[in-house]
């Protein structure tokens, strides 16, 4: 990644089971991942957590298994550690984790087929007008996923998520302000938002 505080991993060819990851997760996180709706969801959560562990060791020398508290809108924070913020996300078999000494939001979004109508839920009027001119369905899906990823990282940064009202937030304005940086990796958009 181009961000010194963001880490990416695609576990698609990793092959390890949740049981094999158990010692690295700790019992509490293992149980959380094991109770997910399916095996893939459990692995996504497990690998995002392991990426957080790696980032904490690499950036801050913290090797303990982290535990979480949760903010007003459900955004997790590290219990017992002040001054370190994190956020992680997963899509498909890709995970991203960002750490910082200030609030941060991260999102990853695999490109998937989307219809123009979906954009009404999160695009500004200007963005909707611009994407409605895209004739190719694959290109349209790509652009909708990119814009969603940018806005979702902002919503995760503030801790308010979708309740932030994405239709009033311009993706390009977030990029121009320097708050958001983006990348594209393994068929997925990555967006990180911080002060």
Nearest Cα to 149, choosing from 186, 174, 117?
A: 174
125: Cβ–Cβ under 8 A, 6 or more apart, which residues?
none
Residue-range domains of the chain with CATH: 6-101 (3.90.470.20), 107-194 (3.90.470.20)
Question: pLDDT digits over 8-40, tens only?
Answer: 999 999 999 999 999 999 999 999 999 999 999
pLDDT for residue 66 is more than 90: yes
pLDDT value for 160? 79
Which of 93-97, 156-160, 174-178 shows the lowest mean pLDDT across its residues?
Answer: 156-160
- Eight-class DSSP state of 72: T
Nearest Cα to 53, choosing from 69, 34, 67?
A: 67
Give the mean pLDDT of the chain.
92
Residue 7: strand pairing partners: 97
Question: pLDDT digits over 93-130, tens only?
Answer: 999 999 999 999 999 999 999 999 999 999 999 999 99
pTM of the model: 0.91
- Pairing verdict, β 188-194 and 180-185: antiparallel
What is the percent of the chain with per-residue pLDDT over 90, rounded to a whole number?
Answer: 84
User: Which run of H or E residues covers position 183?
Assistant: strand 180-185
* C-beta of residue 106 within 8 angstroms of C-beta of residue 124: no
Q: With bands split at pLDDT 50, 70 and 90, how would you rate the model's confidence at 51?
A: very high
Arithmetic mean of pLDDT, 48-66: 95
- DSSP class per residue in 129-164: HHHTT---HHHHHHHHHHHHHHHHHHHHHHT-GGGG
């Amino acid at each position: 990644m181009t961000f010194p505080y963001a880490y990416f991993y695609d576990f698609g060819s990793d092959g390890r089971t949740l049981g094999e990851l158990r010692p690295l997760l700790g019992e509490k996180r293992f149980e959380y991942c094991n109770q997910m709706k399916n095996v893939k969801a459990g692995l996504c959560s497990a690998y995002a957590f392991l990426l957080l562990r790696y980032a904490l060791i690499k950036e801050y020398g913290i090797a303990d298994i982290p535990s979480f508290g949760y903010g007003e809108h459900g955004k997790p924070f590290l219990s017992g550690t002040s001054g370190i913020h994190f956020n992680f996300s997963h899509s498909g078999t890709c995970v991203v984790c960002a750490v910082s000494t200030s609030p941060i939001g991260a999102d990853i979004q695999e490109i998937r087929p989307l219809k123009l109508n979906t954009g009404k839920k999160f695009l500004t009027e200007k963005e909707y007008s611009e994407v409605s001119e895209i004739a190719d369905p694959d290109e349209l899906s790509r652009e909708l996923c990119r814009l969603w990823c940018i806005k979702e990282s902002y919503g995760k940064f503030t801790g308010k998520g979708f309740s932030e009202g994405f239709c009033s937030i311009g993706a390009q304005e977030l990029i121009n302000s320097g708050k958001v940086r983006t990348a594209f990796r393994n068929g997925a958009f990555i967006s990180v938002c911080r002060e």
